[in-house]
Structure 1
Amino acid sequence: MNCKLVNLYNEGVGEVNLNPSIFSVNRESGKLILHDIVKWQLSKRRSGTHKTKGISDISGTTAKPYKQKRTGRARQGSLRSPQFRGGAVIFGPVVRDHAYSLNKKIRKLGFKIALSLKYSNGKLIILDNIHLNSSKTSEMKKCIDSFKFPSCSTLLIVADYDKSISLACSNLPRIDIIKPVGINVLDLLNHDYIILTVDVLSYLETRLL
């Protein structure tokens, strides 16, 4: 399957062959797979540092407040119990890791489905290279404006870029630039358009096939 190859100014410079095993994957359960992967990624992001004090964390006396019987009141064993002011919290959150494992085959399939969705919707653009003559933001903005994107977010995936590219993109709103090693399903879905260079295609084939 062929795809138009353009330069930074959206001028056609030829065609590039895309692997259909990556960019043409259609599955009826694709939405469910993407949902599972997004949940898995968001769970890994959670810090898990929320915590409440249990009865062993409360400082206070360990003595029985009053005798067990013949007081006319309910029996009590500790003033650190949750029914008393300043007492513990029962079954409250504790520090823990929210991450869980997900099958590698499912992760690869979700990756392919996300890329296939972008390609089928015409929101995947292949660049020949990303070399700028200057590191000015205005120059990079001129290049992005040539694609005539609507007001939406764009993810730029470049295998190897220097500091000038990073500086040129840093002040542009809704433009993110990452290296191929950082590609993930959540970023692909969170951005409306995906722009990647030709050398990223070989990395994707190595990673997903």
Structure 2
Amino acid sequence: MKVKVINLDNKKAGDIELSDEVFGLAPRADLLQRMVKYQLAARQAGTHKTKDVSEVSGTNAKPFNQKGTGRARQGQKRAPHQRTGGVAHGPVVRSHATDLPKKVRKLALKNALSAKQAEGKLVIVDELKAAEAKTKVMAGKFEALGWKSALIIDGSETDANFALSARNIPLVDVLPEKGANVYDILRRDTLVLTKSAVESLEARLK
């Protein structure tokens, strides 16, 4: 499919042919949901922890005799039902990451790109460069382009001045092509790709 290419001044800068294999799929919500769940699970720190009976401080001695006191029998002061005792079946340090086949992850990224194209929220620009790092100037350009919530993906390397100019603008993320992922694509309204990013993504996903 042929798509218009623009520049940062919102002027036409030619056309580009997008691969139907990457940008023309019928979006599948089930794949996107699985991929987002996979990404968010991998991001969880899993550092939650409580102390069990063997870890809390305290004596291991029996607090009083088994019989003859009229009280309920007790084995130790560190038991879970005792004050300052250990926690029974509490959380432990672990990884929340799940497995997802590489083919499914690849197909999910294609679906995310295709979904943006189908919704008319995919924008192709010729290049992303700035003469100087000025956030106010870049914010004005984005406002003129209508990029209120956007993920901007460049080629293998992002122009330093452009990255500095855009990094403090709310709801705007800038990533290199290798950082393109389903979650970030879906969480922003507009997806902006450079021509070099399109070439790299098509080479990576075909």
Q: TM (normalized to structure 1)?
A: 0.93
For 2:82 and 2:22, the matched residues in 1 are separated by 61
Matching residue of 2:22 = 22
* Within-5 A mapping of 1:1-209: 1-27=1-27, 30-149=28-147, 152-159=148-155, 160-209=157-206
In 2, Cα distance between equivalents of 1:135 and 1:86: 56
SS at match of 1:21: helix
Contact 1:118 1:194 in 2 (8 A): yes
Provide TM-score, normalisation by structure 2.
Answer: 0.94
CA contact (8 A) 2:129 2:161 kept: no
CA contact (8 A) 1:154 1:195 kept: yes
User: CA shift at 1:3, angstroms?
Assistant: 0.6
Cα distance, 1:170 vs structure 2: 2.5
Aligned-residue CA RMSD (Å): 1.4
Give yes or no for contact 2:63–2:75 (8 Å, CA) kept in 1: yes
* 1:154-191 deviations in Å (ceiling 9; x for gaps): 11111122321122113322221111111111000100
What's the secondary structure of 2:99's corresponding residue?
Answer: coil
Q: C-alpha distance in 1, partners of 2:43/2:146?
A: 34
What CA distance in whole angstroms lies between the structure 2 residues aligned with 1:148 and 1:39? 30
Identity of aligned residues (%): 42
| CA–CA separation in structure 2 for the residues paired with 1:81 and 1:68 | 16
Deviation at 1:69, TM superposition (A): 2.6
Give the whole-Å Cα distance in 2 for the aligned partners of 1:79 and 1:141. 63
Confirm or deny: 8 A CA contact 1:9 1:144 kept in the other structure.
no
Distance 1:69 1:93 in 2: 35
Work out the number of aligned pairs and report it: 205
Residue deviations 1:4-58, cap 9 Å, x none?
A: 111111111211000001111115xx11111111111111111111111100001
Structure 2: stretches of 5+ with no match in the other structure: none
Gaps of 5+ in 1: none
- Larger mean CA deviation between 70-79 and 43-52 belongs to 70-79
Report the residue type matching 1:173 in the other structure: P
Q: CA deviation at 1:72?
A: 2.4
Alpha-carbon separation, structure 2, partners of 1:136 and 1:147: 17
Q: Which moved more, 1:86-95 or 1:18-27?
A: 18-27
Letter in 2 for 1:190: R
Q: Residues 87-108 of structure 1, C-alpha deviation per residue, up to 9 Å, x if partnerless?
A: 0110000111111211111111
Quick check: 1:126–1:196 contact (8 Å CA) kept in 2?
yes
